[in-house]
Copies of this chain bind each other. A is one copy, B any other.
Amino acid sequence: MIDQTLLPARLEVLECGDVDSLIKAIKEMKIRGAPALGVAGAFGVALAVFNAQSFEEVEDAARKLSTARPTAVNLSYGVLRAMRRVRTAKSLEEARRAALEEAKKMAEEDVATNRKIGEHGASFLEDGDVVMTICNAGRLACVDFGTALGVIRAAVERGKRIRVFACETRPLNQGSRLTTFELLADGIPVTLITDGMSGFVMQQRLVSKVIVGADRVVSDGFFNKIGTYSLAVLAKHHRIPFYVAAPLSSFDLGKRSEDVEIEVRSADELKFFCGVQIAPLDVEVYNPAFDFTPHKLVTAFITENGIFTPKELPELQSAEKR
């Protein structure tokens, strides 16, 4: 996969030969983005089977991989899908073929899913719209095309002129590093701002819509990159529609917000930047990687099965995983 920590300065492909190196790459966010994590989970199971001498080894590896990052549901879902195939296999040889097949299928599905999300979402976007987004819900976060950025891409493919404000997304700057990189590569006009500028940009009426991705949608709201909740409150205050673009594999409607763990990452992410010290070494840091946005702040969810307002979510058949 592409090493997402080196962009935009370097485009390097990362190869993981075993599950431990894959888990390390996930924890270090070399691989990130909910849909990409789902597919990585399935391929990780395939890797585990290829390297394993027994089914027990595979189960152990799957357990570790499944919890490498806790908030996005996709990682454990990808692991589960591949493991279902492994568990019905009669030999390791058969399990290898089955896991790899399932992983490849998930990768293909991801692109088709994002295309469908794009089709549904593109109908919301009007010629001349200016869309604000946070983090990277683009092709880098998926296998290809992207969710939130997929909606923008699909609208542009249909001839609509769309401009984007990308919030830089501290502390790891997925907005500065990845979203701008992707959009520039596609020739979609993008303006980079800091996260703190989002309110001011809305106040000046420079933005007509907000579209974000999701790491997990539960019955009372959704989890996404830290900073999303602030954007949602600001959009509400300025009466700007706020959309969430996500595949059904990110929906986990049997759970509520209190059932989901928000990953708290290392203090060093705020004390150092590219190795340079930017805060006192002994300062206390709070570094949650995600936040929770209640459904009342969401205008609609854009999925491969269509558009759902938060009230319509219970109607949503949330994929085969349940």
Contacts and interface: CB of A to CB of B under 8 A. Distances in A.
Interface of A: 8-9, 134, 165, 167-171, 173, 176-177, 180-181, 184, 189-201, 203, 226-227, 229-230, 233-234, 236-237, 270-271, 273-274, 276-280, 282-288, 291-292
A270 B230 contact: no
Q: Which of A9, A194, A200 has the most CB of B within 10 A?
A: A194
Chain A interface, DSSP helix/strand/loop, else mixed: mixed
A235 to B, nearest CB: 10
Contacts of A284: 189-192
A194 B173 contact: no
Nearest to A225: B196
Given A176-B270, A195-B195, A283 B226 contact: no
A200 B291 CA distance: 6
Contacts of A280: 8, 180-181, 184
A195 B9 CA distance: 25
Contact of A286 (B192, B203, B286): B192
Contacts of A226: 194, 196-197, 200
Nearest to A281: B8
